[in-house]
Each structure stands twice: as structure tokens, then as C-alpha cells.
Amino acid sequence: MLELKIVSPERIEFEGEVESVVVPGTLGQFEILVNHAPIISSLEKGTVTYTTPTGEKNLLEIAGGFVEVQKNVVSLCVEIN
């Protein structure tokens, strides 16, 4: 399981466990799964999609930001549209 935290300048948008996260990276969309290699990447305008353990897919439109992945913890700092 991944621990996901999405923060914007206004508030914490989401915090909890997820099975996967898809983000709009600068060089294209990519998916983060359990045991993903450590990474820091900038994000472009697009949609962040994350799947909860119950299988529910959630979408969040962003204007850009950054993602950091380390030891199954995914941190997104984003600007919301």
C-alpha cells in the first residue's frame, strides 16, 4: 500500500492509503505503484488519478506542482485549477 498526501497552498486535499497514483509529469503521464523507485518530478497541468484500497478512482485537476516518492510515501505539492 502507498501513503499519499496531496497538499495545495489552501489546504490538505487528500491524505490516506492508496493502491496507485497516476500523475501528469513534465515528460508525460506516469503511474506510481508500491515499491516505486525514489523520484522527484515536476508536474504539468493535468489530472492526478488515485485508486483507493476499495477500488474507488478519484480525480483531481491540477495546474502544476511537484511529486516526491520515497519508501512507499507519495507527496504531491500542487496548484489546484
What pTM, to 2 d.p., does this model score?
Answer: 0.94
Report DSSP state, residue 52.
-
| Phi, psi dihedral angles at 53 (to 5 degrees) | -60, -25
Summarised one tens digit per residue, pLDDT across range 2-18 is 999 999 999 999 999 99
Summarised one tens digit per residue, pLDDT across range 37-59 is 999 999 999 999 999 999 999 99
